Amino acid sequence: MEPTRFVFGPVKSRRLGLSLGVDPLGPKICSFDCLYCEIGPTRIHTLQRRPYQPVSLIEQALRERLAETDLHFEVLTFAGSGEPTLHSDLGRLIETAKSLTDRPVCLLTNSSLLWDKKVRDEVARCDLILPSLDAGREETFRRLNRPVSGLGLALIVEGLCALREEFAGEIWLEVMLVGGVNDAPEEVEAIAGHVARIRPHRVQLNTVDRPPAYPVAKAVPLKRLEELARYFDPPAEVISHEALASRGGDRQPSVSEIISLLAHRPSPSEEIAAALSYDFKETLSLLETLVREKKIKTRVFKRRLYYYV
């Protein structure tokens, strides 16, 4: 087995910045089979936690990748093809990642195992958790997320509430809205009711941006997403591709402007892009190059990566 398949990127993520991904699962293994999944239909539909891939090979791949001298990334993210908490050695893998890098360690999860205290204890070492919750009603949950049998929405909401009580880092909850499935006002009101109990640090509304697993999953237009964001208190952030593209600047980043800015004020990537009205992904690319060429440096402060001269 080729070890490097477990570590991918860095990819330029609008939510996280320059993200080095760790995929502990391989071919799609998930507790859900969401209509909108961009990876395709679920191959192994399960709630069983197992060492689906050998933990030593994943650790070896991570060690080798992180030892590369010209590697630059802002966060390390457990994600990939399926639901990462299904790997029974996730806790050990998070510990290993924390011992190998000073970058914030993040987790993308569909929230389906957070009711299990053992899983919550394993993920507690992360700096940031990005769970998802797409439905406020059981029937919609079944239709949209197509969970394994026996897994109910109430259990998922309880798990998210318990995580919020126990977890020391931030929780950014993603809500994926799909046209004609969960974008009616009463559906979004029901989701917002659960969110009021969960109290995540941020709520981020998204919609179908890439080819979905099932063609029935349609995008919700930006204007409607912005209206629905106001059902949450405080209003949710809209993070669809279209929303972020319309918000960001479109100037091409310039080396001299960035160095001049950083000489006055160390800044994270999104602040550099916003301050200079740059395209965010282009900014990440240039920052990556400048770090590699040793023209700028980085340091982590309060779980964020700052660039400085």
Nearer to ligand SF4, 103 or 146 (CB): 146
What region does 11 belong to: left with phi over 0, alpha with psi -120 to 50, or beta? beta
Q: Helix, strand, or coil here: 220?
A: coil
Q: Please tell me what DSSP assigns to residue 238.
A: E
Number of residues in contact with ligand SF4 under rule CB under 6 A: 10
Q: Helix, strand, or coil here: 106?
A: strand
Shortest reach from residue 109's CB to ligand SF4, in Å = 8
Angle at CA of residue 193, ends 227 and 16, nearest 5°: 65
Shortest reach from residue 107's CB to ligand SF4, in Å = 13
| 24 scored as a contact of ligand SF4 (CB under 6 A) | no
Nearer to ligand SF4, 36 or 232 (CB): 36
| 173 scored as a contact of ligand SF4 (CB under 6 A) | no
* CA 201 – CA 220 distance, rounded (Å): 24
Q: Which two tokens stand for residue 44?
A: 């192994």
Its sign, for the CA torsion 32, 34, 37, 39, is: positive
| 110 scored as a contact of ligand SF4 (CB under 6 A) | yes
Q: Which stretch binds ligand SF4 (CB under 6 A): 26-34, 56-64, 89-97, 300-308?
A: 26-34
Determine the distance from the C-alpha atom of residue 281 to the mean position of all C-alpha atoms in its chain, rounded to a whole number.
Answer: 16
Q: Which stretch binds ligand SF4 (CB under 6 A): 16-24, 35-43, 158-166, 214-222?
A: 35-43
When binding is defined by CB under 6 A, the residue of 23, 83, 122, 127 that contacts ligand SF4 is 83
Query: Can you give the binding site for ligand SF4, defined by CB under 6 A?
Result: 30, 32-34, 37, 39, 42, 82-83, 110
